A and B are shown apart, each in its own frame.
Chain A
C-alpha cells in the first residue's frame, strides 16, 4: 500500500514541478506549492509528525480556498491528431481502459481467495492494491499501444489533475471535518435539537423526521455513514423503535438510503458531486447535483412512504 501512496505522491509532485516550469502560468508559485505539498504529504505522511502535516494541510487549504490554484495551459493534442489516433487504433483504445476495472476485479476477488488458502500476498485493502496494480499494467499497455514515451503519461496525468484542481483535496478535508464534528459532539447537539421540536405521539411525523433528518444531516456532513449513528440514536431508536415498536432492520436499511438521497444533493459529498463536475469540465460546478436532485427528492419521498408502509 505504501508503494502506491508514494507513486501517487510522485505523480502529484510531478505536477508541482511541471507547474513550476511553466513560464506562462497565471499563478505559478502558489499552484506549484499546492501540488508539491500535496505530493510531499502523500509520500511522507506516515513519517512526519501529525502536527506538521496539519500545518501543511492548512496551508494547502488556504492556497486552494483563496482560489490561488490555477491550471496550466492545457494541451490535449489537436482534434485532428486525436481523430487520427482513433482511426489508427480503433477499438484497441478500449483495451487498456477496460483493463483497469477487469484487473481490479480479478485482484479484489483473487487476493482474499488466496488468503483463505493460506497465501497472504497483500497488506491492507485487496481492492485498493488491485486498483494500483491494474493502473500500472494498463499504463504499460497504453504506452506500448500508443507508442508514447512514459514521460507523456506524467504530462497527461498532470493535465487531468489540473482539470480537477483544488477540489481534489476536498474529499479528504470533508472526511477530516467529519472526524472533528464527531470529536466536538455536533451530532449529539443536532439530535437533541430535533428531539426538542418533534411533536410527540404521531408516528407519521417521527418517520418524516427520521428520513428527512438523515437526508439533511447527510447534506451537512457529506456522508451518510456519519449521519446514521447520530440520527438513529437521536430520533430512530427513541421514537421509531421504543415508542412505535418498528422493525429495526427496515428502519436502518431505509434510513441509510434516505441519507444517500441527501448525498445526491450536497456539495459536501465532493468526491461524488464536485470532483466529477470538474473532471467532466462542466461550467457549473453544481451541474451534477442539479441533475441528481429530482432523483434524490423523489426517492426520499418513496423512502418515507416505504417506511410508513413497512416499518
Chain B
C-alpha cells in the first residue's frame, strides 16, 4: 500500500514548538506557523491570505466576549470596585483565600455542568471580583501581601476559573463538546448515546474538583508558612 500522507505540513508544528521554546512573541510564532503551513501544503499565497481573512471574520466572537464587558468593569474599578471586593470579603470571620477559591471552583464547575458557562469568565468575574477578594482575604489573615504573593494569588484565581469551566462543561449533554464527540463517532459508524458520553465524564470531573480543590486549600497553608516571603 502506498503511503499517501504528506509530512511537509508538520513544518508548521515545528515552528510552533521552536517558537515557544525560544520564547518568541506568540503572535509572531502563530502567524509564521500559519503562513509556513500553508506554503508547505503548496497553497497559493492568495489562498493563505483568504484563509486568514475568513478565519478572522468567523472568530470575531472570541474577541467580542473579551471586549464588551470592559467598559462597565473599568468604570466600576475607577470607583473602587476592587477595593470594595477586598473589603467585603474581609468582613467574614472564616474567609480565607483558599476556601474562597475552593467555593468558586465548586460553583463554577456546577454551573458549567448545568450549561451556564457564561456565569464566570476572566474579564467579568476574575479580574474585578475573584482575584481582589482572594487578595483581601489573604491580606486580612497575613498582613499586607508581598508582590510575589499577590501575583501567585491572581494566577491561581485565573487557573481556578479555567479548571472549573473545563471540567464542568463536558458533563452537560447539550454542550458542544459532547455533541462534537457524538457526531464524530456516528460518522465513523460507532453508535453512542450522547448521555453516556456525558456520564462517563463524571469521574474525571470529580477528580478535577478533588485535585484542584486540595491545591487551592493547601494555598492557605503555603501563605501561612510564608512560602512567597522568603528572600529569593
Contacts and interface: CB of A to CB of B under 8 A. Distances in A.
Contacts of B68: 4, 7-8, 11, 131-132, 135
B198 interface: yes
Interface string A43-62: 00110111111111110011
A152 interface: yes
Nearest to B74: A156
Interface in A281-311: 281-284, 287-288, 290-292, 294-295, 298-299, 302-303, 306, 310
A292 B54 CA distance: 33
Contact of A12 (B67, B126, B181): B67
Contacts of B83: 82-83, 85-86
Contact of A228 (B16, B40, B180): B180
Interface in A84-132: 84-91, 93-94, 96-97, 100-101, 104-105, 108, 125, 127-128, 130-132
Contacts of A298: 211
A3 to B, nearest CB: 11
A267 B33 CA distance: 14
Given A51-B53, A61-B28, A175-B59, A139 B116 contact: no
B114 to A, nearest CB: 10
A263 interface: yes
Contacts of B146: none
Nearest to B176: A225
Nearest to A272: B162
A42 B48 CA distance: 20
A138 B66 CA distance: 15
A192 B77 CA distance: 52
A197 interface: no
A97 B188 contact: no
Given A57-B53, A132-B68, A189-B6, A248 B190 contact: yes
B37 A180 contact: yes
A306 B207 contact: yes
A8 B5 contact: no
B152 interface: yes
Chain A contact residues, majority secondary structure? helix
Interface residues of B, number: 118
A38 B57 CA distance: 11
Contacts of A273: 162
Contacts of A91: 84, 88
A103 to B, nearest CB: 10
A84 B80 contact: yes
Contact of B159 (A64, A177, A281, A288): A288
B78 A156 contact: yes
Interface string A148-169: 1000111111011100101111
A241 B151 CA distance: 45
Contacts of B76: 93, 96-97, 142, 146
A23 interface: no
B159 A299 contact: no
A288 to B, nearest CB: 5
Contacts of A166: 25, 27
B38 A184 contact: yes
B10 interface: yes
Contacts of A76: 74, 77-78
Contacts of B126: 276, 279-280
Interface in B54-86: 54-85
Given A82-B79, A186-B13, A283-B151, 16 more contacts: A45-B56, A90-B84, A93-B80, A135-B68, A142-B72, A156-B77, A177-B37, A180-B12, A185-B41, A189-B7, A254-B204, A260-B166, A264-B159, A264-B162, A282-B154, A288-B158
Interface of A: 4-5, 7-8, 11-12, 38, 41-42, 45-46, 48-58, 61-62, 64-67, 76-77, 81-91, 93-94, 96-97, 100-101, 104-105, 108, 125, 127-128, 130-132, 135, 138-139, 142-143, 146, 148, 152-157, 159-161, 164, 166-177, 179-181, 183-186, 188-190, 192-193, 220, 224-225, 228-229, 232-233, 237, 241, 247-250, 252-254, 256-257, 260, 263-264, 267-268, 270-277, 279-284, 287-288, 290-292, 294-295, 298-299, 302-303, 306, 310
Interface of B: 3, 5-7, 9-10, 12-13, 16-17, 20, 25-31, 33-35, 37-38, 40-41, 43, 46, 48-85, 87-88, 116, 118-120, 122-129, 131, 151-152, 154-159, 161-163, 166-167, 170, 176-177, 180-181, 184-185, 188, 190, 192-193, 196-201, 203-205, 207-208, 211-212, 215
29 contacts: A41-B57, A53-B53, A54-B50, A62-B31, A66-B25, A76-B74, A85-B80, A86-B84, A86-B87, A97-B129, A104-B119, A146-B75, A153-B72, A174-B30, A176-B51, A177-B30, A184-B9, A184-B43, A186-B13, A186-B37, A220-B16, A241-B190, A249-B200, A250-B200, A281-B154, A290-B155, A295-B215, A303-B204, A310-B200
